[in-house]
Amino acid sequence: MSTAAGLAVLVAAALEGGLGEPPTRWHPVAWFGVLVGAVDRPWDQPLAVGALAAAALPLGAAAGVGTLVVGAGTVTPILGVAVAGAVLFLTTSLRRLLSAANAVVRDSDRDVAAAREGLLALAGRDAADLSPGLLRSATVESAAENLADGLVAPLGAFALAVVLAPAVGLPPLPAAAGAAAWVKAVNTMDSMLGYRSKLVGTPAARLDDVVMWLPARVSALLLAVIFLDWRCLWRASRWLDRVPSPNSGWPMGVAAAALDSRLEKPGVYVLNADRDLPSVAGARRGIRRVGAAGVLAYVVTGVIAWS
């Protein structure tokens, strides 16, 4: 489809493998979060304000990124590729996810207090009373869910835009980078505002549900491929009604089935209920498989972009 887009995927993968994420204060997603934070306050019409924000902020992020890539490309095509690759890198997360997850699993067997504190970087739940097994469960759940949210979704948007952009008269590389930024912006808004207590975040949460429908299922498929276990997809499908999210149950359910472990968020859901919580070895295996699925996602994206 686009040699430039394929090279941009290589740039993103190289940056991910070599650097990991930049510090928060230098991360453009954190800067975008400042804009989202301005929406997070009482409004007379919270749903209307939330709908306007959910439409305008991600679109503004996509337009800004696309314009930046176009401008860089007018200087030299190589610069355009580099900027697009950097954008894709900044909208994805794998190395940091794996590092944080492994740290929690390690500490769950040595220093439960440190594991509980470390979990805060992965999962938005109260970890104060979680046992070592529940800490490992939360870590595997978060790794599987974030595979979809933090990697497959922006990579998939990038690949889809490369394929579809020429049909609507858009240059593939800027469109692809803008699509990845749009998805990341939607997911960021959901993570910051998508709580039942915040009506202003309801439109962003519903939009995120739609956007994540396909990435969650693709992530489940990638995990099944990496685990070499197709039956885990069928087993996961039986537990979906136990998870409030319409999407996250897929990758989490596949992980529970393939690891033959119980994954549990106390008071909310239990997956594979008749099995034990993950051991240290089982949780580490799950994290490694998430990492391998992430690498496979990069490979598939590169093939689509370059073919």
Query: 242-293, pLDDT tens digit by residue?
Result: 899 899 999 999 999 999 999 999 989 999 999 999 999 999 999 999 999 9
How many domains are there within the chain? 1
Number of H-type helices and E-type strands within the chain? 14, 2
| 224 lies in some domain | no
- Quote the tokens at residue 199: 């009506």
The residue among 252, 24, 60 whose CA lies nearest residue 137 is 252
Smallest CA-to-CA distance from 140 within 260, 24, 298 is with 260
Q: Is residue 237 part of a domain?
A: no
Pairwise CA distance, residues 215 & 226, whole Å: 16
Does any domain span residue 28?
yes
Q: Is residue 55 part of a domain?
A: yes
Q: Taking residues 9-20, what's their average pLDDT? A: 91
Residue 21 lies in a domain: yes
> Domain span at residue 189?
3-216
Q: What is the pLDDT of residues 116-175, one digit of tens each?
A: 999 988 887 778 889 999 999 999 999 999 999 999 999 999 999 999 999 999 999 999
Give residue 307's pLDDT.
78
Percent of the chain beyond pLDDT 90? 85
Distance of CA 13 to the CA centre of its chain: 15
| 265, β-bridge pairs | 269
* Res. 11: pLDDT tops 70: yes
Structural domain includes residue 294: no
What's the predicted TM-score (pTM) here? Answer: 0.94
Residue (of 181, 167, 159) closest to 5 by Cα position: 159
Check residue 129 and give its pLDDT.
86
Residues 135 and 126: their CA atoms lie apart, in Å, by 11
Residue 71 is encoded by which pair of tokens? 């401008």
**Rounded CA gap, 4 and 85, in Å?**
10
- pLDDT of res. 121: 84
Q: Answer yes or no: is 246 within a domain.
A: no
280, part of any domain:
no
CB within 8 Å of 144: residues ≥ 6 apart: 219, 223, 251, 252, 254, 255, 286, 290
